[in-house]
Amino acid sequence: MAGSRPICYPPPAGETDQEGASLLQKFWQVNWGLVLLILVVSAVGLAMLYSAANGSLDPWALAQGRRLVLGLGAMFVVAFLDIRFWFRFGYLFYFCTLALLVGVEVMGSVGMGAKRWIDLGFFQLQPSELMKIAIVMALARYFHGISTGDIRRSSLLIVPLLMVTVPSALVLRQPDLGTALLLILASGAVFFCAGVRIWKFALATGLALASIPIGWQFLREYQRDRVLNFLNPEKDPLGAGYHILQSKITLGSGGLFGKGFMEGPQSHLNFLPEKHTDFIFTMLGEENGMIGAIALLLLYGLILLYGMAIAVRARNQFARLMAMGLTANLFLYVFINIAMVTGMVPVVGVPLPLISYGGTVMITILVSFGLVMSVWIHRDIRIPRHGVPPWFGDGI
């Protein structure tokens, strides 16, 4: 196949088809600046976990480090795979994940309590986490095939809307409000970038707001408590409002410069709950102050900029939408987590990517970065609107 260029258009001057590029060539194509940023943020995370364990690698930092190495490996594997591979298998990936999600739903209802994961031995796979990638990929694949003109047709939105609602409803049933919200919002970003008219978003938002009273009926008791406590955390400072209040106290007491690494009394004396998972940002804010917290925000901001720049630079709609969707996903993680621990939104149980302790999220995020890098490495590949050219089938 090498050498043949049976594409129905001549590639613009100066562009090269990366098909057949060697692994070494791809290696040099990797966006090392992005990798560096990821490593820096991950290192901050490991340091915070070390501090959370009162200056010990056990029980969190070391385990998280191992996952980081594993995740980085996965990231590079994903990055080096051809973008057309992901294009081709986008739907398959989505449906497999959906099947897994239904699977845990069935097992979960048979087994005890809310079981959201499948034990793979070395780590526990949460299909809902995988779905965050799969849905973005599937939607990007779908919108890739819609022309600028067709995008105005509302009937064409029925299929992608279903693609979002089904997994979201399943996740919501688990119940995992945070993940469901992330799925919907990340999907929204893909819809938005695909060019869906803005008034339709306004309509959807309006409908969502209108359905809050109905949705309230379906919330579990603890979810309602969380919302109520968000609205008035001082109501029951030692009960359910404890998390938010203690988080604000911990964060606020950090001041401008913080209390120093491993010196945060609030976190180390266990006033701060979940300090190694969802509330790790609070601990960071206590120990490193506003300076440290804003520095971390800037790092995330840079990563987001990289992601968006990569999306803009890509030459096919699938890659662009996927990069934007995954970047939006990362943004949502960061924003919802920090807004939650600072008391701006209710506690919804969203971890801070690359920092919070937890395997699945780490893998999900690094695989997402792998896909974004794959977009970058294969940025000049064009894919026809109606699918991968037949020759690609055996070109992989």
Among 289, 346, 353, 370, binds another protein (CB under 8 A): 289
- Note the helical H segments in the chain: 23-29, 32-52, 61-80, 83-110, 127-144, 158-173, 177-194, 198-210, 212-218, 221-231, 242-254, 265-268, 280-313, 317-341, 359-377
Question: Per rule CB under 8 A, is residue 8 in the interface with another protein?
Answer: yes
Among 57, 228, 271, 395, binds another protein (CB under 8 A): 271
The residue type at 34 = L
What crossing angle do the helices spanning 359-377 and 317-341 adopt, rounded to 10°?
A: 150
- Note the helical H segments in 343-386: 359-377
Question: Per rule CB under 8 A, is residue 161 in the interface with another protein?
Answer: no
Stretch near another protein under the rule CB under 8 A, chosen from 96-104, 190-198, 206-214, 365-373: 190-198
Question: Per rule CB under 8 A, is residue 9 in the interface with another protein?
Answer: yes
Whether residue 175 contacts residue 108, with contact meaning beta carbons closer than 8 Å, is answered with no
- Using CB under 8 A as the binding criterion, the count of chain residues that bind another protein stands at 56
Among 253, 262, 388, 395, binds another protein (CB under 8 A): 253
Question: Per rule CB under 8 A, is residue 115 in the interface with another protein?
Answer: no
Q: Which of residues 129-158 bind another protein (CB under 8 A)?
A: 147-148
Question: Per rule CB under 8 A, is residue 54 in the interface with another protein?
Answer: no
Nearest residue to 263 via CA among 244, 250, 245:
250
Stretch near another protein under the rule CB under 8 A, chosen from 85-93, 104-112, 175-183, 326-334: 326-334
Question: Per rule CB under 8 A, is residue 275 in the interface with another protein?
Answer: no
Q: Rounded to the nearest whole angstrom, what is the least distance from the CB of residue 142 to another protein in the complex?
A: 14
CB count within 10 Å of CB 353 equals: 27
Question: Per rule CB under 8 A, is residue 110 in the interface with another protein?
Answer: no
Q: Rounded to the nearest whole angstrom, what is the least distance from the CB of residue 277 to another protein in the complex?
A: 16
Q: Rounded to the nearest whole angstrom, what is the least distance from the CB of residue 328 to another protein in the complex?
A: 7
Q: Rounded to the nearest whole angstrom, what is the least distance from the CB of residue 335 to another protein in the complex?
A: 5
Question: Per rule CB under 8 A, is residue 195 in the interface with another protein?
Answer: yes
Among 20, 255, 260, 393, binds another protein (CB under 8 A): 255
Q: What is the DSSP string of 54-117?
A: TS-STTTHHHHHHHHHHHHHHHHHHHHS-HHHHHHHHHHHHHHHHHHHHHHHHHHHHSSS----
Stretch near another protein under the rule CB under 8 A, chosen from 86-94, 175-183, 226-234, 295-303: 295-303
Among 12, 14, 121, 390, binds another protein (CB under 8 A): 12
Among 308, 352, 362, 367, binds another protein (CB under 8 A): 308
Residue 164's alpha-carbon distances to 86, 248, 320, in angstroms, are: 19, 34, 19
Beta-bridge partners for 119: 124
Q: Which is nearer to another protein, 116 or 259 (by Cβ)?
A: 259
Q: Which two tokens mark 52?
A: 């959370």
Cα distance between residue 370 and residue 131, in whole Å: 16
Q: Which residue has the tokens 């491993």?
A: 262
Residue 206's alpha-carbon distances to 184, 201, 212, 335, in angstroms, are: 15, 8, 10, 22
152 CB-contact burial (10 Å; exposed 0-12 / middle 13-18 / buried 19+): middle
Q: Which two tokens mark 274?
A: 């979940």
Question: Per rule CB under 8 A, is residue 250 in the interface with another protein?
Answer: yes
Question: Per rule CB under 8 A, is residue 113 in the interface with another protein?
Answer: no
Stretch near another protein under the rule CB under 8 A, chosen from 108-116, 176-184, 187-195, 369-377: 187-195
Among 89, 225, 315, 349, binds another protein (CB under 8 A): 315
Whether residue 44 contacts residue 337, with contact meaning beta carbons closer than 8 Å, is answered with no
Q: Which is nearer to another protein, 63 or 290 (by Cβ)?
A: 290
Residue 326's alpha-carbon distances to 126, 322, 375, in angstroms, are: 18, 6, 11
Q: Which residue has the tokens 């520095």?
A: 295
Among 41, 130, 324, 371, binds another protein (CB under 8 A): 324
Stretch near another protein under the rule CB under 8 A, chosen from 30-38, 168-176, 211-219, 379-387: 379-387
What's the Rg (C-alpha) of the chain? 22
Chain residues that interact with another protein, rule: CB under 8 A: 8-9, 12, 147-148, 189, 192-195, 246, 248-256, 265-266, 269-271, 285, 289-290, 293-294, 297, 300-301, 304-305, 308, 311-312, 315-317, 320-321, 324, 328, 331, 334-335, 338-339, 342-344, 382, 384-385
